[in-house]
C-alpha cells in the first residue's frame, strides 16, 4: 500500500486559507460594486500590484521571524537604511568614470543586499550571544538604524535617482509590474527553503520547542543567525523596490508596514507562538490586505479623519486575529458557531 506523504508543519490552518480566499473574493466583489468606475480601472489594479510587492516582502521577512517563535521590529528600518546608503552610493558611482549604468545599478543593489545582511547579522548576534529577547533586540536596532538614517540624511528626503534604476520599481515585463515579479521570485525561494529544505524544518522545530530541538542536535543559534541574516537581505530587497518606486529615500518611510506585516502573517495562518503555519497563506493574506487597504482608501478619501479610522480597523483586525491564533481557533469553527446560533 502506497503511503501518502504528509507534512508535519500543520493542518489546522489549511481550512483558514480556503475561508480567507472566500472572504477575499467577497471583498473584491463588494469594492467593485461600491466603486465600479474607480476600483476596477486598470491603473488602480496595477497600482495594487505595485504596492503589494512592498508589503509582501516585509511580510515574508516577518514570517521568517515569527515561525521560530520570535519577531523582528527592525525590518522597515533596515529597508530605509539600505535605500539611503544606496542613494548616496549610486550618485557617487554616477559621478565617476564608470560608463555602464547597468554595472552601477548592479553594484548599488549589491551594496544594499550587503547592508541588509550586516543588519540582519547584528540582530542575530544580539539575540544569540547577548541573550536579548527578539522583540527587545530588534526594537533597539530599529532605533539605531533609524537614528543612523536620520543622521546621514539630516532628516531630509533624498531624491533624484538615475532614471534607469527607477525601472526596477515602476517598469513592466509583459504587462506584469517588475516589483511584483521580484516579490513572487522571493516568495518562491523562501517557500522552497521553508517547505523543502532542512533549514526550513529546523526553524519550524525551533518555534515548536527550543528545548527538544536542542536535545535533537539541531543548532538553534546557527539557525536563528541564518534566519535573521535572511530577514535582513529580504528587507534590503524591499528597500531596493521602495527606492526605485518612489524615487526617494527617507528614514521615516513605511512605519505602518510593521503592523501590516504582522497582521498579514497571522491572517495567513502562521501561529503567533511559532512552529506552525502554511507559507501559501501569507501570499493570499498579502493580496487580501492590500485590496482591503485600497478599497478603504477609495471609500474614506472624502471622509474627514479617514486615515485614523483605517488605522483603528487595522488594529482591531490584528487584535481579533491574535485572539483567534492564540486560542487555536479557525475561521471555519467561528463561522459554524455563528450559523448554529442563527439556526437556534
pLDDT tens-digit series, residues 256-302: 899 889 988 888 888 887 777 767 788 888 988 888 878 777 776 65
Rounded mean pLDDT of 75-95? 95
Q: Say yes or no to pLDDT of 227 above 60.
A: yes
Q: pLDDT tens digits, residue range 42-74?
A: 788 888 888 899 999 999 999 999 999 899 999
Average pLDDT value for the chain: 83
- Quote the pLDDT of residue 187: 93
pLDDT band at residue 41 under the 50/70/90 scheme: confident
Rounded mean pLDDT of 68-94? 95
The helix (run of H) or strand (run of E) holding residue 335 is helix 331-343
- Quote the pLDDT of residue 117: 98
- Quote the pLDDT of residue 90: 95
Whole-structure pTM value = 0.85
Q: Which domains does the chain have, with CATH numbers?
A: 14-21+43-331 (1.10.3470)
Q: Is 278 helix (H, G, I), strand (E, B) or coil?
A: coil
| Cα–Cα distance, 34 to 299 (Å, whole number) | 8
- Count Cβ neighbours within 10 Å for each residue of 278-294 and write b for 16 or more, e otherwise: bbbbbbbbbbbbbbbbb
**Local structure of residue 201 (DSSP, 8 states):** H
Rounded mean pLDDT of 328-340? 49
The residue that leads in pLDDT, 335 or 111, is: 111
- Quote the pLDDT of residue 7: 43
Residue % of the chain over a pLDDT of 90: 45
Helices (H), 67-133: 75-94, 101-129
Rounded mean pLDDT of 35-41? 77
Residue tagged 526553524 (cell numbers): 203
Residue 24 half-sphere exposure, CB side, CA atoms within 13 Å?
Answer: 18
Amino acid at each position: 500500500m502506497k503511503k501518502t506523504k504528509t507534512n508535519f508543519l500543520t493542518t489546522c490552518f489549511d481550512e483558514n486559507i480556503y475561508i480567507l480566499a472566500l472572504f477575499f473574493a467577497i471583498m473584491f466583489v463588494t469594492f467593485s460594486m461600491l466603486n465600479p468606475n474607480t476600483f476596477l480601472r486598470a491603473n488602480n489594479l496595477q497600482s495594487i500590484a505595485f504596492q503589494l510587492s512592498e508589503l509582501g516582502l516585509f511580510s515574508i521577512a516577518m514570517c521568517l521571524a515569527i515561525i521560530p517563535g520570535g519577531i523582528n521590529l527592525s525590518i522597515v528600518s533596515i529597508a530605509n537604511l539600505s535605500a539611503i546608503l544606496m542613494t548616496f552610493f549610486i550618485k557617487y558611482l554616477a559621478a565617476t568614470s564608470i560608463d555602464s549604468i547597468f554595472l552601477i545599478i548592479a553594484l548599488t543593489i549589491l551594496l544594499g543586499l550587503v547592508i541588509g545582511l550586516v543588519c540582519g547579522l547584528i540582530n542575530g548576534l544580539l539575540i544569540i550571544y547577548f541573550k536579548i529577547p527578539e522583540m527587545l533586540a530588534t526594537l533597539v536596532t530599529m532605533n539605531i538604524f533609524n537614528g543612523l538614517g536620520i543622521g546621514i540624511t539630516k532628516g531630509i528626503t533624498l531624491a533624484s535617482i538615475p532614471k534607469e534604476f527607477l525601472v526596477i520599481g515602476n517598469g513592466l515585463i509583459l504587462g506584469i509590474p517588475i516589483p511584483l515579479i521580484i516579490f513572487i521570485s522571493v516568495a518562491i525561494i523562501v517557500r522552497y527553503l521553508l517547505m523543502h529544505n532542512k533549514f526550513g524544518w529546523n526553524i519550524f522545530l525551533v518555534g515548536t520547542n527550543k528545548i527538544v530541538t536542542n536535545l535533537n542536535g539541531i543548532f538553534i543559534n546557527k539557525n536563528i543567525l541564518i534566519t535573521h541574516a535572511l530577514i535582513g537581505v529580504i528587507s534590503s530587497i524591499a528597500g531596493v523596490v521602495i527606492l526605485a518606486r518612489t524615487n526617494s529615500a527617507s528614514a521615516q518611510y513605511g512605519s505602518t508596514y510593521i503592523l501590516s506585516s504582522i497582521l498579514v502573517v497571522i491572517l495567513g495562518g502562521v501561529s503567533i507562538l511559532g512552529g506552525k503555519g502554511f507559507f501559501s497563506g501569507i501570499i493570499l493574506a498579502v493580496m487580501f490586505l492590500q485590496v482591503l487597504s485600497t478599497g478603504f482608501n477609495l471609500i474614506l478619501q472624502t471622509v474627514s479623519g479617514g486615515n485614523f479610522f483605517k488605522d483603528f480597523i487595522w488594529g482591531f483586525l490584528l487584535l481579533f486575529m491574535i485572539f483567534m491564533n492564540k486560542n487555536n481557533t479557525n475561521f471555519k469553527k467561528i463561522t459554524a458557531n455563528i450559523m448554529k446560533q442563527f439556526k437556534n
